[in-house]
Amino acid sequence: MANSAEINEIVSDFSRVYILTILHEGPVHGYQIISRFKKVIGKEVSPSLVYPFLKQLEQKGLVTHTLKPVGAKKRKVFELTIDGKEFSEQLFKRFSELISVALEPSLEVCAHCGCKVYEGGYTERIKDKELKFCCIHCAASYKQSLGVK
């Protein structure tokens, strides 16, 4: 079983991925990252994770910053570089593939159109078989193709 330090390291890696997601949406200052993180994830992210990570990204040429007035203060506004955008898109693609593998066992396939249904859907008994559809319209089309009312 993983100890709490290992769990914190894993969670901070996911936090970094989400910070990249925020940066990918457009220019932001550090406090905006912290606020958006809390709003979407529902948990605090430590400034001691955010700011060193931004510095690390900047050192690797993935992020740049400019000083811009925000209210009465000047803040560092961070933005992904072209390399940073390419990097984050590659990372998101890999992350998406991992999530797909994790979700695949819980997906059901619509009996009519073949789309994958993660949650919800529509179930109907047709010719003594319980079938899963993405929606009531696919169920109706399926029944029509069988000549069933």
Its CATH architecture, for the domain 4-104, is Orthogonal Bundle (1.10)
pLDDT value, residue 147? 84
Express each pLDDT in 23-59 by its tens digit: 999 999 999 999 999 998 888 899 999 999 999 999 9
Contact, 145 vs 133, CB < 8 A? Answer: no
pLDDT value, residue 127? 87
Highest mean pLDDT (candidates 39-43, 60-64, 89-93, 117-121): 60-64
| Mean per-residue pLDDT, 112-119 | 87
What are the residue ranges of CATH 1.10.10.10 in the chain? Answer: 4-104
Contact, 121 vs 134, CB < 8 A? Answer: yes
Express each pLDDT in 55-87 by its tens digit: 999 999 999 999 988 788 899 999 999 999 999
**Residue 50 backbone phi and psi in degrees, to 5:** -65, -55
